[in-house]
Chains A and B, each alone.
Chain A
């Protein structure tokens, strides 16, 4: 159980959702929410998963947790393929993988007190004696910097940030190894965002947690992640270490995304070049052939429509899915646009 070994290995994960129409509920098509993605997360690290809304980030997180049954692919957690586990074994395994939800107003049952919410996982997995649950919940509340005196309150008596802390306490109750953070701060005020992110970082080092951090805010991801994966329309486009991604992005999509991040320096902000992508994200019901990004890529060529680019390791630890990456160097690419 050393840090650095692979904790979660996702292989060719595919998640389609059928679209049903008519009285007989015939399947008329599929939403290609996640279309063959592979990545791994090492113990103790944070993998940031970024992308526009609707690109399949959340679905990826939920498929890993088996909240949706994956269409195909493997999710290997700690040497075990979660996709193949039956209900009972999966429930056992859930102790080790937990989740923090995006909307703190929706993720807490309004009819349960904090004690019931945070204590529920303890009760179900019989982590502590029933008489000890209250004390344990108080401990957990202190851990997330909440006043334990609030233990008998209901969720609607808290602010957004406080609720998110309750959500974190619930996730921590089982002492998990991996936590999938599904945009845990995007529903919060900017001032509160920083508090929650810092708390998550502190908890990570205190409890040796591994995070899959899903977000659409590139600055936050830059702050918290060790490695970053960029997703577009159900596919990972580029994945590498944080510093490499932000200093030396290779995929045209990543470059365009990064050029949209505001720089808090007016002079630089005026002088830099922005890459404006044309059009909208295509529908995941009928995604473009070949490379998913080709319809909006300023460099798209014939091959991009014909073949789906392989997710290749072009440098040690730097994976890119683009036909043109061999030919373009970042400097040249920028000059061309």
Chain B
């Protein structure tokens, strides 16, 4: 027995292989294991959708995007802590420090109607007096409040616009694809007509018409952007439904005797909706940008509402002196750019992951 233990350890068969073939074997094993073990998440989403989601959380650009988005969501959630409003006022209304037309630079002292100093500011600086962190715009609106609470406005309007556009798009697209033939033809031509209209211009006109009727708020812009934003989703879901409709499992459902409506909702739409959902959720950035553009042009919220586009529009009055009053443009500009960048980075990653041409490249690089 002792002889055996004293013997030099025998090489295992794997160790005697060349480096290259050992790599191959490792990959082979990995393959076998990965086909056997399928996580709960993957089971829930299905193989293809799981691949897309996995691509989202593993692509570096998309990770940066997701971090940016998470950052803005945190700011929006913590807005009352970061920038506590004056008691008994509308927090979405930017607080004013007097009525002076002259903008004040960042870190200047807050004189009248001072909101409560946030705890974090005292904690970091040891000072009790609240200042204009990012300065004020014309008419003494505090830019810091506008930026922080504007994040809420941006996320809220972005999500609402996206949700409604998506709903309209999916309804119209499924309707066209499901009935097919002439209905499809007519509906999709209407979609085409909508698509020929220049998006922002059409939205601008509609919002301008709606504003006197509905009053100044976020509503006219939301309606206008929704009215001209749904067509892409209708097209996308229609195409996907048309493909799924021809799959054998849809035929199988008919053979079993499933009713047409249930086939649509249970077998077709769940298998067709995912790409549209992902693409759509990434468009929030674009909608926020367009919403800000409308605000900048003076359409939408009432003056002083915390909204990035509107703070930017305040800078218009000082366009010749922006060297001095840079802070009116720079702070809201930066957040807007970062916000849209975050969504776009994720959106680009999604498009790459979903592109079948790039898929093979990606898979081979993962293996190698």
Contact = CB atoms under 8 A, between A and B. Distances in A.
A91 B248 contact: no
A111 to B, nearest CB: 5
Contacts of B48: 110
B258 A106 contact: no
A92 B256 CA distance: 10
Contacts of A106: 247-249
Contacts of A91: 257, 259
A108 B249 contact: yes
Contacts of B302: none
Interface in A152-172: 153-154, 156-157, 167, 170
Contacts of B247: 106
A120 interface: yes
Given A25-B185, A110-B271, A99 B46 contact: no
Nearest to A99: B255
A103 interface: yes
Contacts of A167: 252
A95 to B, nearest CB: 7
B80 interface: no
A120 B258 contact: yes
B38 A157 contact: yes
Interface in A73-131: 91-92, 94-95, 97-99, 101-103, 106-111, 120-121, 124-125
8 contacts: A94-B256, A107-B251, A107-B252, A110-B271, A111-B270, A120-B256, A156-B46, A174-B256
B25 to A, nearest CB: 22
Interface of A: 25, 62, 65, 67, 91-92, 94-95, 97-99, 101-103, 106-111, 120-121, 124-125, 153-154, 156-157, 167, 170, 174
B253 interface: yes
Interface residues of B, number: 23
A153 to B, nearest CB: 8
Nearest to B48: A110
Contact of B252 (A101, A111, A154): A101
Contacts of A92: 257
Given A94-B256, A98-B256, A107-B252, 9 more contacts: A25-B185, A94-B255, A99-B252, A101-B248, A107-B249, A109-B267, A111-B271, A124-B257, A125-B257
A94 B258 CA distance: 10
B251 A62 contact: yes
B47 interface: yes
B253 A120 contact: yes
A67 B255 contact: yes
Nearest to A65: B255
Interface string B179-209: 0011001000000000000000000000000
